[in-house]
Amino acid sequence: MLESIRSSKEAIELEDKYGAHNYHPLPVVLSKGEGVYVWDVEGKKYFDFLSSYSAVNQGHCHPKIVGALTDQAQTLTLTSRAFYNDVLGVFEQYVTNYFGFDKVLPMNTGAEAVETAIKISRKYAYEKRGIPENEAKIVVCENNFHGRTTTIISFSNDEGARKNFGPYTPGFVKIPYNDIDALESVLKNDKSIAAFLVEPIQGEAGVMTPDDDFIARAKEVCSANDVLLIADEIQTGIARTGSLLAVCGNCTCESKCERQEGSYVRPDMLVLGKAISGGVYPVSAVLTDDHIMEVIKPGQHGSTFGGNPLGAKVAMAALEVVDDEKLAQNARNLGEVFRERMNKFIEKSESVTLVRGRGLLNAIVINDTQESSTAWDICVALKENGLLAKPTHGNIIRFAPPLVMTEDELHECCDIIEKTILEFEKTWKK
């Protein structure tokens, strides 16, 4: 067995030979991370402008979060839910107060949390609303990304994620994203709808940002039809978009964000993952109120690792960092700086046509087809210049740095982005 990887080439060859080829990573092998930076095997330093798809909002290896992990790891890591442990209840009280809900059901991964929300909403529909069993439907949006389990890919329209994985799970109705009229029509004409599952911003689809009042109007339509609104904030939550959540309707969230403008709403169910543990340990959660969560009884849902003391301690530390370091406020301020710079850059760029986003979840659109390699080629060039980002949907580059970034660091990153793209355009052929 190798004691350590000696080169990036060696690491890539090992993965290629022994690992499933279910990802297409940039050709960089990372071995260390701290704050907004990562280093490769050869010691080259990069700005991380992806944050592990917004899991590392608090920065790499945050000492407070890592400290919580190591302290608890030396005491008790796992009991399963066959027994109580002395951390879970403390976490449950902390996280429900933090987000303003009555109950939480902790899991491990984002996809597990989405599956959990789907199960709860269906059970609620049968037992509280009287929808006949096995007839409940859930409305979702086109171009959604909620995970990769069999159930979730059943309502995806990404053929890369779907094709040849059927038969698919029924019970889902797709509508266009950001289309209130379509939602209202479905709910009015189909009384078997249990819930509307939606991302407040569609990250994987290319940081598609809806109208400012979309979620608020969706909540009104759902409430009028006794349908649950499920907000999937796995990627947008935990300060990424400049507020604690992309949709905030309770005073707790608003006071943490110090953000009062705009239109916010409290969902019936909140789905969290990724940055709830700062990228240190897999933790996810579904939060809702008593009258909904009470449909789940012993033995009806769970996970061996869900609610383990290690994850609970890590998650509390990660959420404390968000407050202590005012990460929502920083994301909001730096997001405005980033979009202002990119909009000015677009005026002199041939290849970049649009920047969109909220907080520090942003994307630029490249003037080429989705089938082209242009966005990928730009990301490879960015890597060579010390910044790591990744394309999505072919001609879109997503930019999501850790929220601990300073304004000086952000400007340095914008300099790299602008310089790289202008150099690329000298030889670029559309």
Catalytic site positions: 145, 232, 274
For CA atoms 45, 47, 50, 54, the dihedral sign is positive
One-letter amino acid for residue 235 of the chain: Q
Minimal CA–CA distance to 50: which of 369, 426, 262, 362? 362
Backbone dihedral angles phi then psi of residue 394, each to the nearest 5 degrees: 80, -60
Closest by Cα among 99, 91, 365 to 251: 99
Which residues, other chains included, contact 281 with Cβ-Cβ below 8 Å and sequence gap of 6+?
Answer: 69, 310, 311, 314
User: What sign results for the dihedral spanned by CA atoms 254, 256, 261, 263?
Assistant: negative
Which tokens belong to 52?
């592990």
Asked if 112 contacts 336 with a C-beta cutoff of 8 angstroms, the reply is no
Treating both helix axes as pointing N-terminal to C-terminal, what angle do 214-224 and 180-189 enclose, rounded to 10 degrees?
10
The answer to whether 429 and 351 have CB atoms below 8 angstroms apart is: no
What the block records as the tokens of 2 is: 């190798």
Helix, strand, or coil (residue 126): helix
Cβ(350)–Cβ(425) under 8 Å? yes
- Cα torsion through 349, 354, 358, 360, rounded to 10: -30
Put the strands of the sheet holding 361-366 in their side by side order.
352-358, 361-366, 396-399, 390-392
30 Cβ partners below 8 Å, 6+ apart?
38, 39, 40, 41
E strand or H helix at 140: strand 137-141
